Amino acid sequence: MTIPNSTASTAENASSRLPAEEKRIVSELATNSNEPDSYFAVSKRWYASWRKYVNTPLGGGAAAPRPGPIDNSDIIETDPYLGRKSLAKEKAYVLVTQLAHIRDYYDMRKGELLDPLSNKSLEESGLVTNQDILLEVDERGLAGLVNLGNTCYMNSAVQCLAHTPPMHEYFLRDHTHQGELAKAFGKLLTELWSSGTNAVAPRVFKTKVDKAAPQFIGHYQHDSHELLLALLTGLHQDSDIVNVFQGQCKSSLVCPVCGETANTYDSFTSLSLPLPSTPTWSISLLSCLDEYLGEEPLGPDNMWLCPECKDKRQANKKLDLWKLPEILVFQLKRFKTSKYFLKKIDAFVDFPVDELDLSKYVENGESCLYELYAVSNHDGGIGLGHYTAYAKMIDDDNEWYWYDDSLVSPVDESEIVSSAAYLLFYRRVGSEIETKSAEVSKTDDMDLSS
Ligand SMILES: [Zn+2]
């Protein structure tokens, strides 16, 4: 690891570094730092622009501009009566460790650290705008996961699970698991929820995943959905908490000739929605769901022996949602096997963030309002792609964060819905949720699939 020391480093030679190189160095610092006893507040706006810059793809697309030196002017406010400067409470900031190293890239002077127990105002401590501020805050749940070599698919799924409230509540409370996978998962979640902003290396967990599901052995790129299902299956052997993901579908066969119907009930852990493979600008989540649940004729090679007609008939098959789970996961089927190769469908699926209302799909009148709290994203093509996750800090600051392996940064809610979205994690909410009916009906009516 080559890190320029602060005296040798200038903003000029930092600019000559490639964005990806800068990201790698800061990622390594996030991983290798010891338990920090101090954090630095950096403007969320500035940090987001830096993240955009370092994620500029190599040789393609419009490059995001490199932000100037760390600018905290938007998170500092001055008391109009006392003239004191302080951290604006309602302004968005992100806490980072190792700011000194980020600062190296911008040739900033090293500032004095504040004593957290000091009663001095920021100004009395010699702090002015554009300088870093030390503060102690609770920042659990903001740790990244080290990439062990093509393990972004695993990191992405684990971050989504780690931010699933019933999962982390359960695994942080109960440490009596017998199974190795559940033990390792519980330990990993405990580390993620107690390690500050330091990245956690999920090495032991990976070996237990490999043991439970040998297809993941080695360092090859895999599917975050496949990992999610394998992990939930493995955890289920040890704990019933996984049942929060379990819903039921009713599958009906209808004989058009006599109207005879046969129902079977199957449980599901996620719903895998087909996407249009023809070039499409955008489609709504509910129209994908309608397509998935739609009635379709069984092929002539799949005739049904109708108990009424007592003969083989061509039947129609129809799926219905029967029982919806507390945690509802949708897989947007972006990876499609054609005759000779696998291709990726980049269609933009418009899905609701605040309120997904599935009432019209379920007959039994249960609460069917859901809110999005995590997304597993896949960027790029098959094999070369990269998985990341968005997750909301529920019951904390209720802000969204972007988990890109070891790096974690705040992200605006408006960026959550993108054509990279692959797995959508919704949780059931009570009917007391504030309804934004105007916005929701607008989303529902938007069907540009044709
Ligand atoms: Zn019949």
Other CB atoms within a 10 A radius of the CB of residue 183 amount to 18
**Residue 321: closest CA among 374, 276, 357:** 357
Q: Quick: pLDDT tens for 8-38.
A: 333 444 556 777 777 777 777 666 555 555 5
d(CA 50, CA 28): 16
User: Ligand 1 centroid vs 254 CA: distance in angstroms?
Assistant: 8
Any catalytic annotation for residue 152? Answer: yes
What 3-state DSSP class applies to 192?
helix
176 pLDDT higher than 90: no
Q: What is the pLDDT of residue 321?
A: 94
Query: Closest Cα to residue 374, out of 438, 426, 409?
Result: 426
The band of 448, judged by pLDDT with boundaries at 50, 70 and 90, is very low
C-alpha to C-alpha distance for 359 and 366, rounded to whole angstroms? 8
Picking from 273, 388, 284, the residue whose alpha carbon sits closest to that of residue 331 is 273
Task: Report how far residue 93's alpha carbon sits from residue 79's, in angstroms, rounded to the nearest whole number.
Answer: 19
Determine the Cα–Cα distance for residues 110 and 70; give it in Å rounded to an integer. 12
| pLDDT digits 0-9 by tens, 143-165 | 899 999 999 999 999 999 999 99
Q: What is the mean pLDDT of residues 332-344?
A: 83
Q: Percent helix, strand, coil in the chain (nearest 5)?
A: 30, 25, 45
Catalytic-labelled residue, pool 163, 177, 225, 386: 386
**Model confidence at 444: pLDDT above 90:** no
Chain centroid, CA 299 distance in Å = 38
Question: Ligand 1 centre and the CA of 252: distance in Å?
Answer: 14
Residue 425, phi then psi, degrees to nearest 5: -110, 115
pLDDT at 408 over 60: yes
Question: Would the pLDDT of 113 be above 50?
Answer: no
Query: Which position among 101, 152, 163, 177 bears the catalytic label?
Result: 152
Note the pLDDT tens digit of each residue in 345-377.
889 999 999 999 999 998 776 779 999 999 999
Given pLDDT bands bounded at 50, 70 and 90, which one contains residue 61? low
State the distance from the centre of ligand 1 to the C-alpha of 259, rounded, in angstroms: 6
Q: Is 139 or 394 the better-scoring residue by pLDDT? A: 394
Q: Could you tell me the distance, in angstroms and rounded to a whole number, from the CA of residue 307 to the centre of ligand 1?
A: 7
Assigned token pair, 363: 């007959």
**pLDDT tier at 214 (50, 70, 90 boundaries)?**
very high
In which band, very low, low, confident or very high, does the pLDDT at 106 lie, cut at 50, 70 and 90?
Answer: very low
pLDDT of residue 338: 72
* CA 319 to ligand 1 centroid distance, Å: 19
Q: Within 10 Å of residue 174's Cβ, how many Cβ atoms?
A: 12
Separation of alpha carbons 47 and 438, rounded Å:
33
Residue 5 has what pLDDT? 35
- Position 162 scores a pLDDT of 96
**Residue pLDDT, tens place only, 233-292:** 999 988 889 999 999 999 999 999 999 999 999 999 999 999 987 777 789 999 999 999
Lowest mean pLDDT among 15-24, 60-69, 108-117: 108-117
pTM given for the model: 0.72
